[in-house]
Every structure is written in structure tokens, then in C-alpha cells.
Amino acid sequence: MNIFVLYGGKSAEHDVSIISAYNILKEVYYQYYTATPIYITREGQWMRKATITSVDDVPTHAAMTEDLEPFSIEALKVDDSIVFPVLHGPNGEDGTMQGLFEVMDIPYVGCGVLASSTGMDKIVSKVLFDAAGIPILPYEAVTPAEWQAKKYEVITRVELNLLYPVYVKPANLGSSVGISEVKNTDELIEAIDLAFEYDHRVLVDQGIEAREVEIAVLGNDDVNVSVVGELVKDTQFYDYKAKYESNDVGLRIPAQLEDETVSRIKKYAADAFLATDGSGLMRADFFVTADNDIFINEVNTFPGFTPISMYPKLWEATGLSYGDLIEELIQLGLRRHKSRQMSSMKDR
């Protein structure tokens, strides 16, 4: 079987995607598979590298965007293959790419259209979490029209309903891109302006003094959760640079939490997976206060697979190696595709 590993893409998380794909390619079980790296440029052009038949063929990280030739999307539709979309952010993780695979009837790894789109949108996902009974923090959503026409009404609404500090985020990005910690009115205006450079809707989240923990989810109809891990950092807020460049964030796996707190986090993570119609994989992020109150922050339907990424490390700590995790994700994608094909046949 051949695995088409897609990476790059048009989002602001382009570089993170390349790192993730490189690490995944090193862990594929090449005794069973070949892998064809497909690089999507920042402009959206699809390019391919030579097919990999052993771990010795995996290019260096720097060479992931070199020695390429044009690739036709139709070439994805070949027998005995699966697509592994290692794409973060819009135009990759938000349901658009998944919709393409569904239309072409191609098996692929990860969440489907609904989970990808709702999980990517921080505003919509909060509505779903709230409806599922998962505790969320107060928030305000801002649209471009109201920001342009009623800027000071928006500021008043935010300051009336939320307390500083707040966190301003593009509704549809991850990896801390475009996110700001805000402590006053002037910073609020600057942060919302910045967030609108990345997305057409903006979320203003209530800040909270709490520990940040994450948990990995794996499965289709059967939901499996990992141990809980904690982000260990010197400051309350850490940005893209701290996450991926300076490595200022440490990981504590497993997190030091009471058993009852861990049980609730695991339940909420499974509930979030089901509420968004998750399949394949998901990482759920939570806040835990000193009083052990738990609030879901967000979910990530294709979390990072870099050397410092929490998702694969959580599964390693749970007893599933990186290579076995990749294999399980492939098998979950194949099983979901087969199940949907059978359902489609019944509809006819």
C-alpha cells in the first residue's frame, strides 16, 4: 500500500506541517508501505517528491521542499493507497481538504468534514461543547462588520462581560498564530486588528489562572483516550515562537492531578470527540484551576507531530509507540472509508 503524505499548505501553519510530515515519514513501517511525499506550496501548487521505500530514503527536513515535480490531484485516486493529510490550519485541517477526499472517494487519515470544520472553528466548537455539557469559559465573538462599524460597542461589550486579561484569537487557526494576551483597552484594539489579519472572525476568550493540560484521543466509533499531560512554562501565555522555535515550553507526562480530576478530563475529552463527530485522532486541551474546576479550551483535529509535540508523546506514555500510532491511524482511516462505502451502498 502507498501512503500519500500531504504537507505544507496555504495556512500560516505551513512550516509546522513540514516538520510534522518529516517526523511521520521517519516512523512509517516501510516493510508494509511505500510513501509518496506531496508538498503543497504556500500558493497552493501540488508537488511530489520521489516515492520512499525505506527509512533510509526519507529526505532531510531541509530537503522536504526540494527536488520536486508537479503532481496532479487525480493521481491520488489509485488502488491500494491512502492519503495522510499532515496539514494544519485552514485549507487543510478545516474540512476543505477532507471534502475533496470524500468527493473523490479516497480513504484518508483523520477526522472527516464535520469534525474538521467544527474543530477548527473555535467559536462553533464552543457552542457544541456547551451543548454537550462540557464546561467552557465565557467568551465573545467578533465579526469584521461590527468591528468596522461599531468598534467601541464591541470593546464595551467585551469589557462588560469579560475581565482582563483576555486572549484574542483568530477563530480558525492553531499553533498560537495570531493570538495575543490582552490586559487593557489599547492592547485589545491592537490584538483584534492583528487577529483579523489571519481570519474573518475573532474570538475573545476569558483569561483564567489555571494549569494547562492536554489529552490525546484515538478511534472511530470506539473512543480511546491517553494519559493526561501538562504544559510547563514560565509565563501564562506562550506564543508560536515559544512553542516551535525557542522550545520554552516543557511537558509533564503524566500530569500530577487527582484521580477524580483525571477521570473527568478523560470523560470530557471523549464527549468532545463525539460531539464534533470525531474520527481517527484529536487532541483536547483543558484548563484546571487550583480548585480542580475544569474548562475545555479547544480541540485540535490534526495536532502537531513535531519532536516536541504533545500528541505522540501522550500515546508513547500510554504504551503506544510512535510507529504503532501511525499504523493505527492508517487502519482507522481505512476502516472508516470501508464503513462509509458500505453505508453508501445501502442508500442505493
- Return the residue matching grid coordinates 476569558: 206
For 58: left if phi > 0, alpha if psi spans -120 to 50, otherwise beta; the answer is: beta
Is 80 annotated for ligand binding?
no
The residues annotated as belonging to the active site are 13, 175, 309
Determine the Cα–Cα distance for residues 139 and 161; give it in Å rounded to an integer: 8
Determine the Cα–Cα distance for residues 282 and 48; give it in Å rounded to an integer: 27
Q: In the structure grid, which three cell numbers stand for residue 135, read together? A: 464546561
Q: What are phi and psi of 159, to 5 degrees?
A: -75, -20
> Strand, helix or coil at 322?
helix
Q: CA torsion 255→259→265→269, rounded to 10°? A: 100
Angle between helical axes of 122-131 and 259-275 (0-180°, round to 10): 110
Which parts of the chain are beta strand (E)?
A: 2-8, 34-40, 46-48, 69-70, 81-85, 139-142, 166-170, 180-182, 202-206, 211-219, 223-232, 250-252, 280-288, 294-300
Sorted by sequence, the CB contacts under 8 Å of residue 37 that are 6+ apart come out as: 5, 7, 21, 25, 48, 49, 52, 59, 64
**Nearest residue to 29 via CA among 319, 316, 324:** 324
Determine the Cα–Cα distance for residues 243 and 308; give it in Å rounded to an integer: 8
Is 220 annotated for ligand binding?
no
DSSP symbols for 89-158: STTTTSSHHHHHHHHHT--BSS--HHHHHHHH-HHHHHHHHHHTT-----EEEE-HHHHHH-HHHHHHHH
The answer to whether 139 and 151 have CB atoms below 8 angstroms apart is no
Is 285 annotated for ligand binding?
yes
- Return the residue matching grid coordinates 469584521: 144
Residues tagged in the binding site annotation for Mg(2+): 285, 298, 300
Residues tagged in the binding site annotation: 285, 298, 300
